[in-house]
Structure 1
Amino acid sequence: MPEINGQVAAGFEAVRDAFAANFADGLEVGAAVSVYLHGRPVVDLWGGTADPETGRPWERDTLQVVYSTTKAATATCVLLLVQRGELDLDAPVATYWPEFAAEGKQDLPVRWLLTHQAGLVALDRPVARADALAWHPMTEALAAQRPLWQPGTQHGYHALTFGWLVGEIVRRVSGRSVGTFFREEIAGPLGLDFHIGLPKAEQQRASRLVQSPPAAMNLDDIPEPMRELAAAFADPASLTRRAYSCVEPPFDHNDPDEQAAELPATNGMCTARALAGFYAALIGHRILTPGMLTAATTQHTAGPDLVTRLPFQVGLGFGLPTPDAAWYSPSAFGFSGLGGSLGYADPGTGLAFGYVMNHVRGVAADQPAANLIAAVSS
C-alpha cells in the first residue's frame, strides 16, 4: 500500500484511515482529499501514483483534472459578473451574444444556461475535436443550433456544452476568456492552485488519468435507478448519448493540448486543497455575497433529467444533492465529476470538501469519496 502523506487535525484521524483503506481496497491509484471547517484546514492528505506509466508519485502539488466538478467554478464566474451589476440573469442571452438569437432563441434568458434548461445539450452536427479546442467554432455552432426542447419547460444535463455556453457569456461581458477571468478574479486573489486551461509550463505536475476498462454487463444486472441511463447510453440516437458525443473524436484529457485549452465544463485542473479552498471561500463570502450565494444555491430545477434519466437538482450552476447522496444536507451545494471527483460545501456545518483522483471508475465511482465523507462525519 502506498505511503499516505499530509496531516489531519485532532478529531479527524478517521479520515486518514478511510483514505488509506481506499488504497488498500484497490479503489485508488493516486488521490488527494482536503477538508476545511469554518475556514480552517483540518484534513490535507495525498498518496499513490500520479503517473502509472512512469511510476511518478503523487506529490503535494500534483494537479488532477476533475471533469464536471469544473462546472461550479465556471458558474461562479458568471455569478460574480451578476453580483457586480455587469450581467442580468433574466436578460436574453442575445443581449450579450447577438448571434445566439438564431433558431428562435432570441428570448432565452442567461439564467437557463446555468439551470440546464436551454435545450442545447447536443448539436445536430458534432464539432471536430480540434475545432472544439479552438473555442470559436463550437460557440458558433451552439449559436446556430435549434433547441432540442422548448427552453424553460424541461431540464437536461448540458454535460459538455455548458462550458462553451456559460464561458462565452463570460467572454462577451468581461472581454476575457473564462479561464483568464477565473484566474484573475478568483483563483489568483485567493491563492488557489486551480486552472481552467493549464499552462504548458505546469503540465509536468498533472496526473495521468487511469480509465477502468468497460465491463460487459447485462442490463438486468444493473441496479434499477441506473438501468434506464445505461440503456440510453447504448442507443446512439438517444439524447443521452448525443449529449456526450457533440465532439468527435471524443476528448482525452491526458492530451497536453486538451489540458492547455479552456474546456470549462470538463477540464478544470486543481489540487484537492484548492478545490476545498474554493468552497471554503464561497461559504466564507470571500467570492460571492451572502445574498448572491443563497440565490445561487436555491433549487431552480428538479426531477428526472432528460439526459441523465436520474433526479437532478440544480441551482444557478451548482448541483444540489439528492437525499441518497453521501454529501446530502439540506444546505449543501457542489458538483461531482466523471469517475468520482467531488467538491462541495455545507454552510450549515461550515464544512468544505475537495476530493480528486486519477482512477476514473465507471461502477460505484462515488464510493471512495463517500467513504471519506462518512469518516469526516464520524
Structure 2
Amino acid sequence: MDGRWDGLRAAVRTTIDELVTSGQEAGVQVAAYLDGEPIVQKQAGLADPATGRPMTADTPIHAVSTGKGLTATVVHVLAERGLLDYDLRIADVWPEFARRGKDGITLRHALTHTAGLPTLPADTAPEDFADWDRMCAVIADAEPLWAPGARLAYHAWTFGWIVGEVVRRVTGRPISQVLAEEVAGPLGVAGELFLGVPEADLPRLARLEDAGLTAMIAYASAHLPNFDAVAPPGVRPDATIGSRPDVLRADVPAVGTMSARAVARMYAALLGPVDGVRLISPERLAEVSAVAARGEDWVFGQEVTFGLGYAVDGDGSFGTAGSGGSLAFAYPALGLTVAAVRNRLGAGDGDPMEGLRTLVRDAVVAGSA
C-alpha cells in the first residue's frame, strides 16, 4: 500500500483498537480505496465472542441496509449492458405487479423510494422472508399509498423484492446470483459480498450482538406512527432477524452481508477501474450518484436525499448505511470509497463507524489538498 497513508492507517488502527478494548465494539472492519487502489484495510476484535474466533479481513458481516447498495449496483451494471432502463414500467416485466393501480410505477420510483409501497402486512414473519414467491405475491397484491413519485417513504424491506424481482424477470436469475456473477466474481470478492448467503458460507459469518439497536427500534415504534407499518414487529431489522440462518440464506435484497474490503472495492469499481474491472461508465456514475429525490421521509419525518438506489450526502458522497451502524460510501470527486462494518449493532453510541468514515475522508482531503 502507498506509504503516504501510513499515518491514516495508524490512526484507524488506534481508533478501532480502542473501540474494541473499551468494550464498545466486539469486532470491526474498515477499508478504503483511493483511485482504485486500497489504502486502508484494518480489522480488530472478535467475529464471534462466544468462541473467540477472531475478526479477519475476509469475515462477512450482516450489515443490514448497507446491502441496498449491492442491490442498486446490480441494477446499474445491468443498465450499463442495456438490459434495464430506469424508466422501465415494472409491470412490463412483472405483469402481476400492475394490480391495484400500480401500472405506472417505474424502476426509478423503486430506486428512489417514491414507489408508494413501503409497508408490509402487520403479521409478516421471518419465515415469510425465506419464501421469495410469497413476498413477491404480497408486493404484487399491495395497494400503493399514493401516486408514484408523489411522496418519499423509505422502503426499508420492500425495496429488495421490488428491485430484486425486476432483476429476476429480466435476467432469469436470482439477484444474489447476478451479484455473484456480474459484480463480486469479476472483482475477486465472491466469498465476501452477498445478498443471499450460501449455506456453506454461514459458519464464516460474524456473530451479531445487540448493543442498543433493539431499544432504538422500540422507541421508533412507540414514537413514529408509520414505523410499524414499514417494519412490523415480527421482522424488525435487528440482530435477531439478522442472525437467522433461513433469512441469511434467502434473497432479501434490502439487506446484505459483506466484508468492509469487498464493499469498498465494489464502490471503487463504480468510480473507476479496479485491477482492470470497471462496473459502469463515467456518464452513468454521474447519473446514479446525482440527487434524484429529496423530501421529508414518511417513515422517519426527516429530510432525506436519494440518488438511484443510494443515499446522497451533502459532502458529495453516495452510498448506504445500515441499522446498527455499518456503512459504505463513495466520494466521486475524491476518487475515494470507505466502508466500516461491525457485528455489535448499536444505536445512540456516538456512531463510531461514521466517525471512521469521517477520519478517512478528512485525511484524504488533507493529503490531496
Same fold (TM over 0.5): yes
Shift of 1:85: 1.8
> Does 2:250 align with 1:261?
yes
Unaligned runs of 5+ in 1: 1-6, 218-228, 324-328
Opposite residue 294 of structure 2, the aligned amino acid is A
User: TM-score scaled to structure 1, two decimals?
Assistant: 0.87
Counterpart of 1:351 (choices 312, 332, 336) is 336
Q: Please list, as runs of the form range in 1=range in 2, the aligned pairs for 1:109-124 lying within 5 A after superposition.
A: 109-124=106-121
**Structure with the higher fraction of residues in helix conformation:** 2
Alignment match, 1:206: 205
Residue of structure 2 equivalent to 1:225: none
Distance in 2 separating the partners of 1:55 and 1:283: 37
Which of 287, 294, 297 pairs up with 1:302?
294
Give the whole-Å Cα distance in 1 for the aligned partners of 2:188 and 2:62. 18
Aligned residues: 352
1:277 counterpart letter in structure 2: R
Is structure 2 residue 333 aligned with structure 1 residue 341?
no
Aligned mates of 2:133, 2:32 — CA distance in 1:
37
Matching residue of 2:231: 244
Which of 138, 142, 145 aligns to 1:145? It is: 142
Offset, 1:232: 5.2
- SS of 2:47 mapped into structure 1: strand
Which of 311, 317, 322 is the equivalent residue of 1:319? 311
CA shift for structure 1 position 26:
3.2
Equivalent residue number for residue 220 of structure 1: none
Unaligned runs of 5+ in 2: 364-369
Contact 1:132 1:247 in 2 (8 A): no
2:132 to 128, 131, 135: 135
Rate the CA distance shift 1:249–1:60 in 2: closer, same or farther, 3 A: closer
Percent identity (aligned): 38
Q: Deviations over 1:120-176 (max 9, x none)?
A: 111345433222211110100101100122221110000011111100000000100
Query: Relative to structure 1, is the Cα distance of residues 272 and 231 closer, same or farther in structure 2, using a 3 angstrom cutoff?
Result: closer
Rounded to whole Å, the distance in 2 between the matches of 1:53 and 1:297 is: 40
Q: Kindly provide the amino acid, as one letter, of the partner of residue 323 in structure 2.
A: L
Shift, 1:302, TM fit: 1.1
User: Residues 110 and 213 of structure 1: is their aligned pair in 2 closer, same or farther, counting only changes over 3 Å?
Assistant: closer
The answer to whether the aligner puts 1:33 opposite 2:33 as a matched pair is: no
Does the 8 Å contact 2:59/2:204 carry over to 1? yes
* Alignment RMSD (CA, Å): 2.3
Deviates further, 254-263 or 359-368:
359-368
| Aligned-pair CA distance for 1:275 | 1.2
SS at match of 1:123: coil
Is 1:278 matched up with 2:269? no
Question: Aligned letter for 2:202?
Answer: Q
Query: 8 Å contact 2:129–2:247 — kept in the other structure?
Result: no
1:107 offset after TM fit, Å? 1.4
Q: 1:183 aligns with which of 175, 180, 183?
A: 180
Residues 164-210 of structure 1, C-alpha deviations (whole Å, 9 max, x = no match): 11000000001000000000111001112211111111112101101
SS of 2:300's equivalent in the other structure is: coil
Distance in structure 1 (CA, Å) of the matches to 2:245 and 2:36: 34
**For the Cα contact (< 8 Å) 1:163–1:265, is it kept in 2?**
yes
